[in-house]
Amino acid sequence: RGAHALQTVLPLMRLSGSAVLALLANVAGLWSRWRESSSLCSAACVAATPQTSLADLRRALRTPMPGGEVREAAPIAEDPPRVKSLLPGEVTLRVVSLSGRVLWGPRTVDDCTMVLELQRHVGEAIGQPASAVALVYGTEELRGGRTLAEEAVPNNAVVCAVVCRDQVEIADALYARVRGQIWVPAGEAVNAPFSGEQVAFCESTVVRLYDEWVTRCERHLVKSGRPPADGDPGSDSEYEEIECGSWEAREETVERRRALAGHIYVDDGSGYRALILPRDLNAWACNNADLTFTRTEDALAHLGGGATQRTRGWRRDERCLSVGDRCEVLGEASIDEEGRLVICEPHLPSDQLHRLDSPRALRRPRPAPGARSSPVWERPSALRHKAFLGAVLREYSSLENVHLADVVWWRCWKRLFYVLA
């Protein structure tokens, strides 16, 4: 009766174990699918955000005033009434930025001057290509293939220049993508203890290499059993438990230290630097650090730990984030109260955090006399799920490729777990 009950229960136990394993494989597959979707979303977010220089980004952001208030951009002056030209065929022009800063002029030019030529002069004055300069008079953009007379530009006109790569103080915060090199202020770099290099982050570990005597019991056959035959009940096999042991290689971490520079910047070579501020700078630097130094020191084998261990040596490793490493960061760019350009985790909702290439969604209302005006975003941002993304580019060419590699990795794990399920 007991044997019959055991034969009934064992298949159920095996079925229950298989069901549990299938459930675990399905859960792991769903988790891998979520990680794949998250990496794919990050790659799409990077691809949808154009790379910009820190100089353009710095000019596009407003500087906060002491006390936390934001300095509003200076309003554009009202257009003067149209008056007669100084000489027949001549007009005096002044080109200003969105904030009212004079970019070019006032100068007297011929009214037959092409708008394209005026764009070239303005571009040379501000160090930008003429194709990136758009000239606006009143509410209409001047067309490059026409002359100033054909565009009805009067004398003493104030023309507004909108430069795609040089927008001036259009927002308090922008979602930006910057590529450059790791930079640390003088005196803030940390010293790697083993190699002696000055780095931005260092994780040093000391690992003890040793052998441990491991004992185990092995079952050896002493006498083979005799199968039952006619009139002979047979006999069981006889076994003997033998204790044996051997040395097995082990290692343990006896010391681990981390050192992080006070501030880590990204420098794109444009003359400006941006402070990198993820949610956890220490964890971000640790995840992007790479093994830069390792050394193994042999030691005279000696017994320890109750004569069950013998030390073979020590290994010293360093994982560092070096100054000058290529990196790419994506996040909310703003200027803090100290006047530093900062790229950090987004604090604004995704629909309110615009990118630098969204000038068509920007409108500057004409202010009332004596009042100030600030740019107004007419449409919400179309890019969703904005987040801080950053990585050190070693074997990858861009941040997008880093996340696409993660997509391939998690997709393979997902399919493996589904096959197991």
Tens-place pLDDT, residues 85-141: 344 578 888 898 877 788 888 888 888 888 878 888 887 888 776 656 778 888 777
| Structural contact between residues 91 and 155, judged by C-beta atoms closer than 8 angstroms | yes
pTM value is 0.65
Q: Is the pLDDT of residue 202 over 80?
A: yes
Average pLDDT, the chain: 81
Q: What's the pLDDT at 76?
A: 30
**Closest by Cα among 384, 403, 393, 419 to 175:** 384
Cα 156 to Cα 152: distance, rounded to the nearest angstrom: 12
The whole-number average pLDDT for the span 250-270 is: 93
pLDDT over 90, % of the chain: 30
Cα 310 to Cα 130: distance, rounded to the nearest angstrom: 74
pLDDT band at 356 (very low <50, low <70, confident <90, very high): confident
Residue range 283-311, pLDDT digits in tens: 999 999 999 999 998 876 555 555 788 88
Show the DSSP H helices in 257-348 as ranges. Answer: 281-288
Backbone angles phi, psi at 112, to 5 degrees: -90, 5
Q: What Rg, from alpha-carbon coordinates, does the chain have?
A: 35
Residue range 335-352, pLDDT digits in tens: 888 888 999 999 989 888
In the chain the first and final C-alpha atoms are separated, in Å, by 36
**Closest by Cα among 70, 180, 132, 165 to 356:** 165
The whole-number average pLDDT for the span 393-420 is: 89
